[in-house]
């Protein structure tokens, strides 16, 4: 019997309409377009506007479009893994809220919190349920409303992040296509460099925590960059070596969109040219768990059955990892 792999059989994405440009940011904080572009590669990012709009409201159109593409009913979904650091609320899980909104009445689900590595962690986790034979259809969603946790007076973070959501469907495949390997890592000592200090059990919400700005994302940029640029590149190279892949074997690098310089360093370490790298950071900024599925969504029509894809990410935790998958459909 041939081994069952978890293959991506559909992908879809959603980004809000509102575009926050570098020029508009120049009116909000002490920065300029040239400075942002040079250091990050970002020109604009999308922001979810409107009262009462949450992360699940971006996931709904992404998932509904995915189901339509695949030609299946929401009731066929067995499991929803929602990767996010901006859940609609601390509990219930946004996966449960999403299931209700799209009519996935037979699905169970949970949220997975690994910051910018969330989607990679979620993909590797979802694959286990397919490979074990427990489930036939697993939905992995990566999305964040980062604007809800960003201080737009803090130029170290507000220039980087945007809102967006992507989703993939995992199904069994016996042709050797799908998730082939994954390497996932974490280092909790990185907590001090990238975090939200309050809102958890350590510092419950209070007037003092709100006044101190502890409910916003905090990033010590230099330390995070140094760690990310090394580890994201290393883990991508490691998964290639482990699977005896050369740069010529790799059709696409699908990197987390945190910073153009980190993406370039990862590609260079792998030996792949920029023509093989999915880059949309200039349009969407860093959407945290949304970046990788949004890339797959945008590049879907360029992907061919059997293409070797290397996914790589780095995020708060610290968390980082890489997934090697063979694309399961297309020309």
Q: What backbone torsions phi and psi does residue 213 show, to the nearest 5 degrees? A: 75, 25
Q: Catalytic: 158?
A: no
Give SS3 for 163.
strand
Q: What backbone torsions phi and psi does residue 111 show, to the nearest 5 degrees? A: -95, 145
**Selected catalytic residue, list 83, 116, 158, 295:** 116
Cβ atoms of 235 and 228 closer than 8 Å: no
Q: Would you give the DSSP letter of residue 148?
A: G
Q: Catalytic: 135?
A: no
Q: Catalytic: 295?
A: no
**Selected catalytic residue, list 12, 256, 259, 295:** 256
Torsion angle defined by CA atoms of residues 23, 28, 30 and 36, in that order, rounded to the nearest 10 degrees = -40
How do the residues of the chain divide into helix, strand and coil, expressed in percent and rounded to 5?
A: 40, 25, 35
Strands 44-47 and 5-14, bridge-based pairing? unpaired
* Residue 161, strand partner residues: 286
Which string of b and e fits 20-41 if b means at least 16 CB within 10 Å? bebeebeeeeebeeeebeebbb
CA 288 to chain centre: 5
Listed in order, strand segments (DSSP E) in the chain are 5-14, 18-21, 44-47, 79-83, 108-112, 138-145, 163-173, 178-186, 194-195, 218-219, 252-255, 308-315, 319-326
Catalytic residue positions, numbered? 116, 256, 286
């Amino acid at each position: 019997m041939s081994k069952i792999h978890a293959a991506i059989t559909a992908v879809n994405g959603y980004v809000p309409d509102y575009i926050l440009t570098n020029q508009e940011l120049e009116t909000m904080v002490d920065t300029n377009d040239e400075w942002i572009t040079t250091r990050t590669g970002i020109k604009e990012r999308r922001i979810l506007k409107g009262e009462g709009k949450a992360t699940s409201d971006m996931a709904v159109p992404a998932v509904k479009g995915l189901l339509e593409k695949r030609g299946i009913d929401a009731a066929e979904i067995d499991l929803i893994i929602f990767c996010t650091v901006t859940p609609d609320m601390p509990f219930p899980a946004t996966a449960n809220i999403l299931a209700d909104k799209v009519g996935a009445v037979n699905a169970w689900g949970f949220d997975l919190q690994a910051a910018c590595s969330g989607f990679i962690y979620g993909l590797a986790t979802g694959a286990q349920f397919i490979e074990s034979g427990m489930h036939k259809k697993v939905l992995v969603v990566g999305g964040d409303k980062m604007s809800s946790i960003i201080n737009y007076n803090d130029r170290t973070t507000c220039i980087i992040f945007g809102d967006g959501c992507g989703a993939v469907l995992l199904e069994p495949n016996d042709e050797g296509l799908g998730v082939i390997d994954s390497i996932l890592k974490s280092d909790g000592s990185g907590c001090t460099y990238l975090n939200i200090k309050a809102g958890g059990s350590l510092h419950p919400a209070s007037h003092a925590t709100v006044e101190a700005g502890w409910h916003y994302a905090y990033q010590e940029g230099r330390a995070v960059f140094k760690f990310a640029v090394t580890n994201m590149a290393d883990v991508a190279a490691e998964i290639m070596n482990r699977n005896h892949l050369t740069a010529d074997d790799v059709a696409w690098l699908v990197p987390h969109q945190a910073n153009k310089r980190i993406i370039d360093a990862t590609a260079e370490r792998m030996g792949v040219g920029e023509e093989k790298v999915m880059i949309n950071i200039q349009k969407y900024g860093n959407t945290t768990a949304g970046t990788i599925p949004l890339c797959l969504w945008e590049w879907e029509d360029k992907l061919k059955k059997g293409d070797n894809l290397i996914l790589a990410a780095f995020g708060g935790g610290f968390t980082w990892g890489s997934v090697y998958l063979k694309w399961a459909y297309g020309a």
